[in-house]
Amino acid sequence: MSKEKKTLRFGKNGRFRVLMISDFHGRPDFNPKLTAGIEALMKYEKPDLVMLGGDQLCGTTKDELRAFLSACLEPVMSRGIPWAHVFGNHDDEQPMSKEEQEEVYESFELCLSQAGPSDLSGVGNYRLEVLEHAGDRPMYDLYALDSHGEIRDYVKYFGLSDDTRFILPDHFGAGCNQASPMFDQVDWYFNTSKRRERELGYKVPALMFMHVPIIECQLAARNPEETGFIGHKRESVGSGELNSGVFMAALQRGDVKGMFFGHDHYNVFQAEYCGISLGVGSPMGYNMSAHDDLRGGRVIDIYEDGRMFHRSVRLLDIMGSAAVRDPSFFEGGDRYYIRIRE
């Protein structure tokens, strides 16, 4: 991290608050309710860091991306709050490469995102640290991973034949085409975590952020009683079919307290599996399919003593009817929104 970038530090109360918001699906003429919603969340939750969970932009140029981020994140930047991001599958589909997009992100003074090691798969694999309130000891690590685009991208990447079948009739999850972190990214996290413990003399608790849910989120949703499922599941969990092993790596290291994902527009839930908390869905966009009663973010509170708690926050609860999208703004029709009675 450059010297100009803000240092993340626990507050006097020993707490550090992350607000994760995802899936803006923005465009140059984006719905201004997005900015209004972010303003409401900032005012209501007062986060110390804002994490963008992927699928930020549907645009074509660096200028469009810069203008979009400046406009929709004005409530964040005007307060001097640092922010960061991970890329989503639709960010991977833009005319600009992720490398080009990353340059725009990092040009913002308050953005803490990093391109990450150049020899790793993807763009935006990095670690942020949160220091103790009264000193310089790292007390929490925040890992960001690129979860890539679609599983078919692996055909060229791995040199496989064009007729390779990734999704079999009796599949693990929901048969989605989404990708997942690569093994070298998982290896980078695992060895970074080991190195941190060796150099510091203690294991640093951690959070992990990526866009596409991992296959273990399927298990959590299918076994609600055993995993303490809280929230709403209105569509299949959008995980890919290939298991990258990132959950096993986190389980073996024993440092990751929670893993958080965007991507799903109709799912907002949390559950616990093997002692790791999973948070899925924090849809914010007004230019994509979403239910008005689910739109909002996820608040993650971490503490210097290692504790972690998280919950979803709905715009409907803090803004009322002002949070409801004008249905005429999106051509998707009735199934894409839920009306509320005035």
Which residues, listed in sequence order, are joined to residue 144 by a DSSP beta bridge?
126, 209
- Asked if residues 255 and 203 have their Cβ atoms less than 8 Å apart, the reply is yes
pLDDT band at residue 92 under the 50/70/90 scheme: confident
Give the pLDDT of residue 57.
84
Which residue would you say has higher pLDDT here, 339 or 32? 32
Average of pLDDT values for 211-215?
96
Give the pLDDT of residue 302.
98
Is the pLDDT confidence value at 93 over 90? no
pLDDT band at residue 337 under the 50/70/90 scheme: low
Please give the model's pTM, rounded to 2 decimal places.
0.94
**Dist. CA 336–CA 325, nearest whole Å:** 10
The chain-wide mean pLDDT, for the chain, equals 92
Q: Which CATH number fits domain 15-331: 3.40.50.620, 1.10.10.10, 3.60.21.10, 3.40.630.30?
A: 3.60.21.10
Residue boundaries of the structural domains of the chain: 15-331
pLDDT band at residue 332 under the 50/70/90 scheme: very low
Give the pLDDT of residue 2.
45
19-63 pLDDT, tens digit per residue, is 999 999 988 889 999 999 999 999 999 999 999 999 998 778 999
With H, G, I as helix, E, B as strand and everything else as coil, classify residue 98. helix
Q: What is the DSSP string of 37-90?
A: HHHHHHHHH--SEEEE-S--B--SSHHHHHHHHHHHTHHHHTTT--EEE---TT
Residue with tokens 């990751």: 256
Is the pLDDT confidence value at 15 over 60? yes
Is the pLDDT confidence value at 336 over 80? no
- Asked if residues 85 and 113 have their Cβ atoms less than 8 Å apart, the reply is yes
Give the pLDDT of residue 281.
92
Give the pLDDT of residue 338.
54
**Dist. CA 194–CA 91, nearest whole Å:** 31
pLDDT band at residue 190 under the 50/70/90 scheme: very high
Name the least confident of 178-182, 243-247, 298-302, 333-337: 333-337
Q: Which of 182, 177, 193 is nearest to 243 (CA)?
A: 182
Give the pLDDT of residue 233.
94
For the chain, give percent helix, strand, coil, nearest 5.
Answer: 30, 25, 50
Give the pLDDT of residue 153.
87
pLDDT band at residue 331 under the 50/70/90 scheme: very low
Is the pLDDT confidence value at 169 over 70? yes
Residues 6+ apart with CB under 8 A from 166: 151, 152, 154, 177, 241, 242
